[in-house]
Structures are given as structure tokens and as C-alpha cells.
Structure 1
Amino acid sequence: MAINNELLRHLEKELNATISKAGPVGGGSISHVYCLHTAKEKYLLKLNNKGAFPGMFKAEAEGLDIIKSTNSIHVPTVILQDNFESDSLLVLEWIETKRPNPQSSALLGEELAQMHRNTSANFGEVADNYMGSLKQGNRSHPTWAAFFIEERLKPMVELAINKHLINNTYIQNFEKLYKQLPGLFQEEPPSLIHGDLWSGNYLISVDNNPYLIDPAVSYGHREFDIAMTTLFGGFSNEFYEAYNHHSPLAKGWQQRLDLWNLYPLLVHLNLFGSGYLAQVRDCLTQFI
């Protein structure tokens, strides 16, 4: 998705600045990502087709603003969220980054614990948004078990059925899990969670501050965020030690990681196919 002259002029008008360069940035799997250079600032531009992913950038901007409002951890400032012709666009503050070190990793754990202290009356409690390129619902539920089943597992299982990715054995096993889930963990008050916390969704700035990006926020169980950090690696021991120091997790949290990771694995199954089926099976059979 190229940036044409009409879009450039629109961006210049909205930013009140002349764009001297618009270069592509790697890392975007759903959207096209660019660095916009002006005389005074650099910005991150994300572009996608507004018909293919309706409301995606609006939800992302709202999620960033919700996290920012907690004053717990940095996020890029939302500069502009807009539609132009067939495109949807999001312009964010540009963050100069460096590799994590033990100090910044520990600070990420501490500040995530602070963010998780922000609570709500019920689970969900934010507008529907996206997990990757799939829509996810955030209707309000009084318990995490009900929210996780109704808003996370069931929609992904139904989609996998429609895609002919799972058979009756999987369906029956998920039904067993739904019945047993309330007894498998300790309920906690709802916490504001990032919702898609893998290593590609945090940055460390050159001044050593952690930033969260690409949120899929809801009020949920904080173990869900911690579980996702383990799914693809990229988080150090200093991160987990700092998190547990500032906000200790309930006993046995390590044994529940695969339980919560059923959801992102189902998302990956639906997006990328049967290569993730074995991981779904292995996680599921542990808890039934």
C-alpha cells in the first residue's frame, strides 16, 4: 500500500508540517508502516484498508489512550486517527529504541504491575477491539471465567469449526473445559490488561523507558498478560522477578500459563492454519 501524493498532502495538512520523506518500516504484519520525516519531528504512520479492518485503528487509539490515562507505563502518543479515501490511518509519536537491558526489563515488569492495579467493576468493560486481525468482543461479565469462555474461547472455537480446523473431539474437550474452568484458578478483581503482550508489542526507548504498543485491551485477569509473555519468548528473568516483587501472582501461576494461552493459540490457528493445532491440543488436554 503506497503513499500517494493525495495522501501525503492530507497528512501534511493534518500535521501542519511538510513531509520530507516517508520511508517503510519493518514489522507490520497487518498494516503498512512508515516513518514520516518532517523538519522538526518524526512520526510513525500505519495504513490499512478501512473496509478490510473496520474500526481497527480507532480501537488501537482508544486502547493506547486508556493505558496512557493510568500514568503507569509509557505508550506512544496518538497524533491522528483518520480515514482518507479507502485507507484507514493512524499516526503515532515516533519512539527511538534500543535493545532491552536488565534495568529496562525490570522496569517493564514494575510498570506492568502498576498498570494491572487499574481495575473496573466487571470484566471486559471496554469497546470491542481486535486481536491481530480478528475482532474480539469485550462485553461485560461478572467473572473472569465467564468472560474468558464467552468472549475469548467460544468465538475462536466457533471460527475454527467454520474453517474446518478442529473436529468433534476438540469441540467436546472445550465443552469439558468450560465446565471445569471456574475451579482451575483463583478469581481476582478485573485488571486493565494489554491483551496481546508478546515481545513484538513492547519497546525500550533510548532513555531506557518501556513502551507498550498495539494493545488489545480489556479488563481481565492479569495472569493472561503474563501467560502471553511466555508464548514466544523475549522477556527476561528480570521482568518476571520485578513483576512478582511489585504484584505477586497467585500460587501455581506457572501451571496456568498454557490455560490462558489457549486463546492466542486459537487466534493463530484461525489466522495461520493447522500448524498450531498440536499446541492447542497439548494445552487443552492438560486441563480436562
Structure 2
Amino acid sequence: MPTLIPDLESAISIATGTPFHVKQQRSVGGGCINQAFVIGDAADPARRFFVKTNRAALHPMFVAEAAGLRALGAGIRVPQPIAHGISGDTAWLVLEYLPLAGSPDPELMGAALARVHRITPTGAPRFGWEIDNTIGCTKQSNRWHDSWVDFWREERLLPQFRLARQNGFDFGVAGEAVLDKIPDFFRTYSPQPSLLHGDLWGGNAAGLADGTPVVFDPACYFGDRECDLAMTELFGGFGSRFYAAYHAAWPVDAGYAQRKTLYNLYHIINHLNLFGSSYFGQARQMLAELLRGG
């Protein structure tokens, strides 16, 4: 990556209006998808930026991430996107560096998520997003739909089922039956499109020193707000104070308890497609639960 650092210096200088020259560089955890590091300025070591890199072909993933962060920033603190680009065979995204200090304050987090969910699409109340993005490194189609049931079936569950079959995991008639059953979960509930983080588990949220919530690594779209809430419960939960604060700001519908399995099925099958057979049994159990209920 011989041109990466000069390209970063140039892009940051242009974006911020202040010259930037890298003096300090240290690697940090970038998750299981990207590589990441923090760079500091020669003139002002306290002036730092967070940089994510991946293959050049994945530059659209960073474009979509930047768009998602900008949208989420209207309701919750995010690392602001500074610039993105390609240097040789490397795609990169420069973000504001935030000194994260552990978990977010749960009450502030719950209230902030409710604010995010109050953000709706301009114009007609449709489900989808301005561009496609990724969930992990799986392509996520955000084609606009007027019907939430159609969106969830066509743009979320059906692509994951097809990918699972390509990867050797066939759910057979159970998968088809759940796809056919989706309308049953919405007989008395008509969700309105809300801005969603889209990948909201504990690893994608943190707090500043004063507890201010910060979210990152989004997979945004406009959908049923219950999708975000469901995922917060999938890998350990955010704690009772978070949920109490969210529900105080915006209570959920009584049918959420059943629909959260429908929504989390998407993420479990995605994990199956990304990480392998250890998620196959869990996905089958969720399918059986959905076929018993609704």
C-alpha cells in the first residue's frame, strides 16, 4: 500500500480544511471484516482519526457505511465519516476518532435509539434504503417496497435462504413454510418505516467517558423498529434499564415477542452463511418456533 498514507493525508486535509501529516499510527481491532488503525497528526498528536481498510472491490461497503453513519447522526452520536477512497488495491474509510470508554449509559442509549427510530424516509412511507449495503460482509439488498411483509420476505429472508442453500444448508419445507407464513405475524400490526441501525448488537455500541452512547458499523435501512430491538436481545441484550428507557419513550406492540424470532432469524442465517454450521441447529429451532406460533 505505498500510496495509502499520502492519500489519507491528502483526503483528510481537504475534508477538514487543515493540513494533516501522519506521525503516529497504531493498529486497533477492526472486527472480523476489516483491518483498522488510528493515525495521529505530526503537528498536533491529539488530532487523530480512525481508519478502516479492506480490498478495493469492497469500497462500496465503505460508501454505504458512511451514508448510514450520516443518517444515524441525526439521532445518536456516531463517529462522523471524514473521507473514503481507494489506494491501489486497498479501499479505506476515515472516521472521526472517538475515545470510547466502555458501555453506554443504558437510559441514554434507550432514549437515543427511540429518537433514531422516529426518523422516517422523506416522501412516501416506504421500506428500504437509498443504496444497498452489507450485513457483516454479506450483500444486503435495500430495494424499496411499499409493503413491509414483501420487503422482509424478498430483501431479507429469501436471499439468506438462497445463500444458505448454495453453502450446503437446506432448510427444505420449513423454510418455505415460514416464508409463506410471514403475513400471519402482521394481521393486527402495521409497522411504519423507521431508520434502523440494522446490526445493533453490543459490539456495535459503546460509550464516551460521560456515558454518551455511540453506535457504529451500521447496516442501515428504513424498516420496522422492532428489528433493531430484536437484535439487541440476540447476543446478550443491553440490560433492563435500556429497555425501560426505550419503552418509556416509545412502547412496542404486544406482538413483538413473537416477531422478534422472525427478525432474528435473518441474523442467525447470516451468521450461518458467514461462519458455518454451528448456527444451523439454532436456525432450525427458530423455524420450528415460528411455525408453531403466529
Unaligned 5+ residue runs, structure 2?
Answer: 13-18
1:234 Cα deviation from its structure 2 partner: 4.6
Counterpart residue number, 1:65: 70
Q: CA deviation at 1:107?
A: 0.7
Q: Report the counterpart of residue 244 of structure 2 in structure 1.
A: 241
Query: Which residue identity is paired with 2:7?
Result: H
Match of 2:15 in 1: none
Report what 1:149 is aligned to.
Answer: 153
Equivalences for 1:44-59 in 2 at 5 Å?
A: 44-51=50-57, 53-59=58-64
> Could you tell me whether the CA contact under 8 Å between 1:163 and 1:270 is conserved in 2?
yes
Higher mean Cα deviation, 233-242 or 10-19? Answer: 10-19
SS of match in other structure, 1:100: coil
Q: Output the CA distance in 2 between the equivalents of 1:75 and 1:252.
A: 31
Map of 1:34 onto structure 2: 37
The residue type paired with residue 53 of structure 2 is: L
Q: Cα offset for 1:27?
A: 4.0
Q: What is the aligned counterpart of 1:212 among 201, 212, 215?
A: 215
> In the alignment, does 2:118 pair up with 1:117?
yes
CA distance in 1, matches of 2:30, 2:11: 25
Which of 158, 161, 164 is 2:162 aligned to? 158
Partner of 1:126, secondary structure, is coil
In structure 2, distance between residues paired with 1:100 and 1:203: 5
Q: 1 CA distance for matches of 2:21 and 2:215?
A: 28
Query: Match of 2:107?
Result: 106
Is 1:221–2:224 an aligned residue pair? yes
Aligned to 1:261: 264
Which residue is equivalent to 1:196? Answer: 199
Give distance in 1, aligned partners of 2:219 and 2:173: 29
Residue in 1 that maps onto 2:287: 284
Deviations 1:151-181 (A, max 9, x none): 0011110011111122xxx231122112221
Structure 2 letter corresponding to 1:148: W
Q: Deviations over 1:19-66 (max 9, x none)?
A: 111110014211100011112411100000012x24110010011112
Q: Which residue of 1 aligns with 2:49?
A: 43
Look up the match of 1:138.
142
Whole-angstrom CA distance in 2 between matches of 1:238 and 1:76: 24
Equivalent residues of 2:106, 2:238 under 8 A apart: yes
Instruction: Choose 176-185 or 145-154, whichever is displaced more.
Output: 176-185
Give the Cα–Cα distance (whole angstroms) in 2 for the partners of residues 80 and 125 of structure 1: 21
Map of 2:130 onto structure 1 = 126
Q: Deviations over 1:198-255 (max 9, x none)?
A: 1111121123211110110011011110111111115111111100110100003223
Q: CA deviation at 1:11?
A: 1.5
Structure 2 Cα separation of the partners of residues 54 and 165 of structure 1: 29
Amino acid at match of 2:232: T
- How many pairs are equivalent? 277
Percent identity of the aligned residues? Answer: 38
CA distance in 2, matches of 1:14, 1:27: 21
Q: Provide the C-alpha distance between the structure 2 equivalents of 1:27 and 1:6, rounded to a whole number of angstroms.
A: 21
- Letter of the aligned partner of 2:62 in structure 1? F
Give the drift of 1:113. Answer: 0.5
Is the partner of 2:181 in helix, strand or coil? helix
Where does structure 1 differ by over 4 angstroms across 4 or more consecutive aligned residues?
A: none
TM-score by length of 2: 0.90
Q: Distance in 2 between matches of 1:6 and 1:179?
A: 52
> Is the CA contact 1:160–1:270 (under 8 Å) kept in the aligned structure 2?
yes
- In structure 2, how many angstroms separate the alpha carbons of the residues matched to 1:207 and 1:240? 20
Q: Helix, strand or coil for the counterpart of 2:232?
A: helix
User: Which structure 1 residue ranges, 5 or more long, are not aligned?
Assistant: none
User: Which segment drifts farther, 214-223 or 247-256?
Assistant: 247-256
Aligned twin of 1:182 = 183
Deviations 1:82-139 (A, max 9, x none): 11111110000011111226xx111111010011011231111321100000111011
